[in-house]
């Protein structure tokens, strides 16, 4: 998982402090950071003039270093400082002393006419909204139409949440250091940062390991080691058997989408459990997926006496209310891999404590996959799960409350485990915004659970693969297309993992 870590602003401060305590001078770290900014600036524009806006802290120090290096490379540079140069302290003051050119007042800086603005005003640790001269300067930068390179994060952006703290710079590109921060990936921060470059500045890997970051960027480097591989001895019974609960007649399509997803992602067998009146409707559209009648929680209990049925998908098109809660109770007591989506979550609106008790009743490997509306309904009134704030914090709180993996779906989907691990997905696409897309996703998760992937890794892998399928198909995507993209997507993944 090396390289996937996301560092909070506090974790980055601790990493800096640990590196300095181990003998790395802070000014050397700043010089390396400034050199990375200068290199990125030269890649963005080979000509001047460049306006470097420096703030009163270490972010401004990085800007002074970048300005010096750009000037030494023969590029016209102007530096403007927000605040009093005499008030600079520590490494920032030392970096400013190495800049021998003039320094103007940033409060009066006019970005128009420059080829690039370097935003080194405020970094990720900003704790209050920008106001006064700083807010007015940000407005002029954003209104100028000049490309902006942000240092660490665009000024005004919360590096932990991706939320603006009042006025915020809308950057063309961002250079950050050591690792990305959650705010680089969470919306709207992802959009406000533009393309993000991560620069190594000499902080040892051992320091990062000691920090123990628990948030990650989602991708194969995070879960690839746990992804199922086939051997010469593999057969359908070794690849798991997923079951999907179907809704009533005329509401069966969502469950079939989930079942198709589970089969395409590699489950050896998939059975759709259908109410008897819906059997003809389902049978007319199933071939490789098996079909069995299931009219009640008792029927489900009888079916699950077959221990080979090792993963259950419940929710898509299932219907809301007491009968669904009874089905979930049986599914949780069975102690299998379990995906709860849609109606299986909405049925517990106002009854989240009941769902917690059910999950705790069996040795269940549960994954809940709410979108924002389902999340709000399920956790309304639950004080342990905040209704507002960072998606990362809310998903983590929900996972801890349920004692289950939570996939909080959206353009910046967050996957969170009860132990605090979390992943933010980055390869999503608007083409996935179509009816039934989430049903296929929960089928993908169920199919990976059936093959033995742990819940957190299965959920993270399914989210990434789901997005890759959407990106590969592109315009015109409908949910039925997603499972059919999986052979190509899986082929590319397994080649990347060295498994083919």
Query: Binding site, residues?
Result: 58-62, 119, 123-129, 152, 155, 254, 317, 371, 409-413, 438-439
Q: What residues contact 24, with CB distance under 8 A and at least 6 apart? A: 202, 203
Q: Are 407 and 451 in contact (CB under 8 A)?
A: no
Q: What residues contact 69, with CB distance under 8 A and at least 6 apart? A: 34, 35, 38
Q: Are 299 and 293 in contact (CB under 8 A)?
A: yes
Provide the annotated binding site for (6S)-NADPHX.
58-62, 123-129, 152, 254, 317, 371, 439
Environment class of 383 (CB within 10 Å of its CB; exposed 0-12, middle 13-18, buried 19+): exposed
Between CA 293 and CA 497 the distance in angstroms is: 40
Provide the annotated binding site for K(+).
59, 119, 155
Provide the annotated binding site for AMP.
409-413, 438
Between CA 273 and CA 312 the distance in angstroms is: 10
Between CA 443 and CA 465 the distance in angstroms is: 12
Structure tokens at 52: 């470097």
Structure tokens at 389: 């704030």
**Residue from 72, 39, 70, 26 nearest 52 by CA:** 70
In order, the DSSP letters of 420-465 are S-EEE-----GGG-STTHHHHHHHHHHHHHHTT--HHHHHHHHHHH
Name the strand (E) or helix (H) holding 486: helix 481-496
Between CA 472 and CA 466 the distance in angstroms is: 10
Torsion of Cα atoms, 90 then 95 then 100 then 102, to 10°: -80
CA distances for 52 relative to 82, 86, 135, 150, 450, angstroms = 11, 18, 17, 10, 54
Q: Would the CA dihedral through 156, 54, 5, 217 be positive or negative?
A: positive
């Amino acid at each position: 998982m090396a390289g996937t870590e996301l560092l909070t602003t506090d974790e980055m401060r601790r990493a800096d402090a640990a590196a300095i305590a181990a003998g790395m001078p802070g000014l050397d770290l700043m010089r390396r950071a400034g050199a990375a900014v200068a290199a990125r600036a030269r890649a963005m524009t080979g000509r001047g003039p460049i306006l470097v806006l420096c703030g009163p802290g270490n972010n401004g120090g990085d800007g002074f270093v970048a300005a010096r290096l750009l000037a030494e490379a023969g590029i016209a540079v102007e530096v403007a400082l927000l605040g009093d140069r005499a008030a600079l302290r520590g490494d920032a003051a030392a970096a400013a002393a190495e800049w021998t050119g003039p320094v103007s007042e940033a409060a009066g800086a006019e970005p128009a006419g420059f080829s690039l603005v370097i935003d080194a005003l405020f970094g990720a640790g900003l704790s209050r909204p920008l106001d006064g001269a700083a807010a007015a300067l940000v407005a002029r930068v954003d209104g100028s139409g000049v490309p902006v390179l942000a240092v660490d994060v665009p000024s005004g952006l919360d590096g932990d949440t991706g939320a603006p703290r009042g006025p915020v710079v809308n950057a063309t590109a961002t250079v950050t250091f050591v690792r990305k921060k959650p705010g680089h990936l969470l919306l709207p921060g992802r959009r406000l940062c533009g393309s993000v470059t991560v620069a190594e500045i000499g902080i040892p890997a051992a320091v990062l390991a000691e920090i123990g970051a628990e948030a990650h960027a989602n991708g194969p480097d995070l879960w690839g080691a746990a992804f199922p591989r086939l051997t010469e001895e593999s057969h359908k019974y070794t690849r798991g058997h997923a079951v999907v609960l179907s809704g009533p007649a005329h509401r069966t399509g969502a469950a079939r989408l989930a079942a198709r997803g589970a089969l395409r992602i590699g489950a050896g067998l998939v059975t759709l459990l259908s109410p008897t009146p819906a059997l003809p409707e389902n049978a007319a559209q199933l071939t490789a997926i098996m079909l069995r009648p299931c009219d009640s929680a008792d029927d489900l209990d009888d079916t699950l006496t077959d221990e080979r049925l090792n993963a259950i998908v419940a929710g898509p098109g299932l219907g809301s209310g007491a009968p669904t809660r009874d089905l979930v109770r049986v599914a949780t007591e069975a102690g299998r891999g379990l995906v709860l989506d849609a109606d299986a979550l909405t049925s517990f609106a106002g009854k989240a404590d009941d769902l917690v008790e059910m999950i705790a009743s069996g040795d269940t490997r549960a994954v809940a996959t709410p979108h924002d509306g389902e999340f709000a309904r399920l956790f309304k009134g639950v004080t342990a799960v905040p209704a507002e704030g960072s998606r990362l914090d809310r998903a983590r709180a929900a996972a801890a409350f349920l004692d289950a993996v939570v996939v909080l779906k959206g353009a910046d989907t967050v996957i969170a485990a009860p132990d605090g691990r979390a992943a933010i997905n980055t390869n999503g696409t608007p083409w996935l915004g179509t009816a039934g897309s989430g049903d296929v996703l929960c089928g993908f998760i169920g199919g990976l659970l059936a093959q033995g992937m742990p819940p957190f890794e299965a959920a993270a892998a399914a989210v990434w693969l789901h997005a890759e399928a959407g990106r590969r198909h592109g315009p015109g995507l409908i949910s039925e297309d997603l499972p059919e993209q999986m052979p190509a997507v899986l082929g590319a993944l397994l080649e990347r993992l060295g498994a083919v």
